[in-house]
A and B are shown apart, each in its own frame.
Chain A
Amino acid sequence: MKIIVCVKQVPETQDVRLDPVTHNLLREGVKSIINPFDLYALEEGLRIREQQGGTVTVLTMGPPQAEAALREALTYGADQGILLSDRAFAGADTWATAFTLAAAVRKLGGADVIFCGKQAIDGDTAQVGPELAAFLDIPQVAWARKLTFVGPERLQVERLLDHGYDLVEVQLPALITVVKEINEPRLPSFKAKLKAKAATIPVYSLSDLGLTENQVGLKGSFTRVVRVFPPPARGQREILQGAPEELAAALWGRLQQMHLR
């Protein structure tokens, strides 16, 4: 079984703010981590490998520093990591990111299963997985919380939808995006940490993927950010301080005005 897990390197906290007056960006020195949802995708890949045999390849696109995310993935036991990195890839939106990932998957000779976390905590779009599946023209099941093999090339997937959980069956190759309930990610192992430290991480560039500048990065993106601003504050506010009983009484008064009991 050839398993590919797509991961994204993200800042550990999302505490990026705009100064409400100057609109300057208040960026705190934060470290980079693997998108937490992607760890569930990786864990699922590792579990499938343990069940079915095969290899787990971890794929990421990003600046050269994103190599650290791949090395971290190796400490959990992934077989190899591949970094897609090129100045031309910078500024990609989800379309261009998925397009680039698709080229890399093809270069790797495809996969039986591709796992993605449900979304990244920095962008929260949840689009790259489904777009990647579309570019590869493979079926996809989003929001999976449980996987069962029912044949060598067939998976039953329990997945979350707005009304509850559906059970669907999908033919491999397929792409699965996973939610947190699917598993409990393992800890790194010491032996894998040693291996990860020494591992070579291949880097695929624009030309390695056989793409042109117009298909990737900012140039290949169909969306543009045109403005950023802090979330709007609300209107007239009222702040009360005092003894708990007084505050509770004020609150009760307000609830009565609102005709809530």
Chain B
Amino acid sequence: MSIIIESDLCTGCGQCLEVCLFDALELVGDKVAVKDGCNLCGACVAVCEYGALSLPEDETPALSRPSHGIWIFAEQRRGRLSPVALELLGEGRRLAEALKIPLAAVLLGHQVRDLVPELMAAGADTVYLVDHPSLAQFLEEPYAAALTALARLHPPEIILAGATYVGRAFIPRVAAVLDTGLTADCTAFDIDPEKNLLLQTRPAFGGNIMATILTPRSYPQMATVRPRVMKKLPPDNGRQGNIIEIDLADLSRPFRSRFLETVSEITETVPLGEAEVIVAGGRGLQEAKQFRLLEELADLLGGAVGATRAAVDAGWISYQHQIGQTGKTVAPKLYIACGISGAAQHLVGMQSSDYIIAINQDPQAPIFQIADLGLVGNVFDILPALIQQIKANR
């Protein structure tokens, strides 16, 4: 299945080759031809001035929409909700209103009923509660079994989950078994008003390009969502909702994996994810010991130290500090980027920060494109001067 080419109309101008993300077009003689790998994204159709390209007609019949609304997975651990659960309810509320359908939270765990009011206050119309000893600790098998069974019982139109380690570990199992698509790590959603479909946007190609993805021929439409990107609603304790508690017989079967113990908790002085100020360093710091400057400044500002993949790969600082596509996503009030060029892989992890200050020697560095305040200069000169100023003024 691929793009349809009207060879008579094709002038061989090559415009379409330039825009094909999948490198699926080639010129054969003076006409364009499709190779393997066409994803039907339609980018070429849009640029063809001669109308030589078109998308094949959608031959799948429209499915009827399931009736149980939008679900968000309310991730919790030991009776505490993960912040992403509330963020998903905030975003879910917006989407539910656009689609005029209800919003539900799915709460899986053991002895977690207390969390129901918090979910309702955060925007849930309904809470599906599965309370079972098998769900006391996270394991892929029982969690996937529970969510799959629920979705078969009360088919939803959309399922959103946090793109946390937990969410990304088990949600794909659910999508596989439900025969439906899943988009990873989304950073924005919208609704296609004609088809009432969820437009799922995520960074692609290492984060240098954003891609919008549809799940056009199956329900539920599923996505995991990057934490700290969506906004939660102010809690409304007056909100009312239904609680539907479900006893799944399936959970009493023996599972082939079992939880033994938590070996170690990640401890950070100020956890990166929760820091209001982050001072981050990149390749421009040149060596491990320069991170001490950053630590000193972060301490003075009550913040945490972050780093780019380049700095982590160079061994200057541990992976726990990595921010970006393959590290953490952060959204502090203030982000100070020191010696960071601004590779897209890093930007996706910090561009939701409220205020970004960048210090870099190269005025052309891409980091300046997204910085609110950019300082062109040497980090090793500017930071000590700043540290001195702060100390002098305390």
A–B touching in complex (CB under 8 Å): yes
B370 interfacial by beta-carbon distance below 8 Å: yes
> Provided the pairs A139-B140, A218-B1 are in contact, do residues A131 and B172 lie with their beta carbons within 8 angstroms?
yes
Q: What string of 1s and 0s marks CB contacts (under 8 Å) between B100-115 and chain A?
A: 0000000000000000
Contacts of B183 in A (CB 8 A): 223
Q: How far is the CA of A53 from the CA of B255 in the complex (A)?
A: 27
Complex contact B205–A166 (CB within 8 A): no
Closest-CB distance, B119 to chain A (whole angstroms): 19
Q: How far is the CA of A90 from the CA of B38 in the complex (A)?
A: 7
B68 interfacial by beta-carbon distance below 8 Å: no
B19 interfacial by beta-carbon distance below 8 Å: yes
Complex contact B140–A244 (CB within 8 A): no
Interface-facing stretch out of A11-19, A186-194, A196-204: A11-19
Complex contact B375–A250 (CB within 8 A): yes
A221 to chain B: closest residue by CB? B181
Scan residues 338-363 of chain B and give those whose CB is less than 8 A from a CB of chain A: 344-345, 347-348, 351, 355-357, 359, 363
Complex contact B208–A16 (CB within 8 A): yes
> Provided the pairs A139-B140, A225-B39 are in contact, do residues A258 and B333 lie with their beta carbons within 8 angstroms?
yes
B214 CB contact (under 8 Å) in A94, A135, A224, A245: A224
Q: How far is the CA of A158 from the CA of B265 in the complex (A)?
A: 12
Complex contact A251–B165 (CB within 8 A): no
Closest-CB distance, B275 to chain A (whole angstroms): 12
Interface-facing stretch out of A39-47, A70-78, A119-127: A119-127
Contacts of A234 in B (CB 8 A): 351, 356, 369-372
Complex contact B301–A247 (CB within 8 A): no
Complex contact B18–A25 (CB within 8 A): yes
Complex contact A261–B301 (CB within 8 A): yes
Complex contact B257–A169 (CB within 8 A): yes
Q: What string of 1s and 0s marks CB contacts (under 8 Å) between B203-224 and chain A?
A: 1111111111111111000000
Closest-CB distance, A26 to chain B (whole angstroms): 9
B249 interfacial by beta-carbon distance below 8 Å: no
Scan residues 97-151 of chain B and give those whose CB is less than 8 A from a CB of chain A: 137-141, 144
B27 interfacial by beta-carbon distance below 8 Å: no
Contacts of B182 in A (CB 8 A): 94-95, 127, 131, 222-223
| Across the A-B interface, the 6 shortest Cβ-Cβ residue pairs | A14-B206, A222-B181, A248-B385, A244-B381, A223-B181, A125-B184
Given contacts A17-B209, A248-B385, 10 further A-B contacts (CB under 8 A): A127-B168, A133-B140, A134-B172, A162-B82, A224-B41, A230-B209, A234-B370, A248-B383, A252-B389, A255-B301
Chain A residues in contact with chain B, CB under 8 A?
14-18, 22-25, 27, 63, 87, 90-91, 93-95, 98-99, 121-131, 133-135, 138-143, 156, 158, 160-171, 174, 180-181, 217-219, 221-231, 233-234, 236-242, 244-245, 247-252, 254-255, 258, 260-261
- Chain A to chain B contacts (Cβ below 8 Å), 22 pairs: A90-B36, A95-B181, A98-B176, A124-B207, A130-B173, A140-B169, A142-B165, A143-B165, A164-B264, A168-B259, A181-B319, A218-B38, A222-B215, A223-B213, A224-B39, A225-B212, A225-B213, A227-B41, A231-B347, A234-B370, A252-B389, A261-B301
Chain B residues in contact with chain A, CB under 8 A?
1-2, 18-23, 36-43, 77, 82, 137-141, 144, 164-166, 168-177, 179-185, 199, 203-218, 255-266, 277, 300-302, 319, 325-326, 333-334, 344-345, 347-348, 351, 355-357, 359, 363, 368-378, 381-383, 385-386, 388-390, 393-394
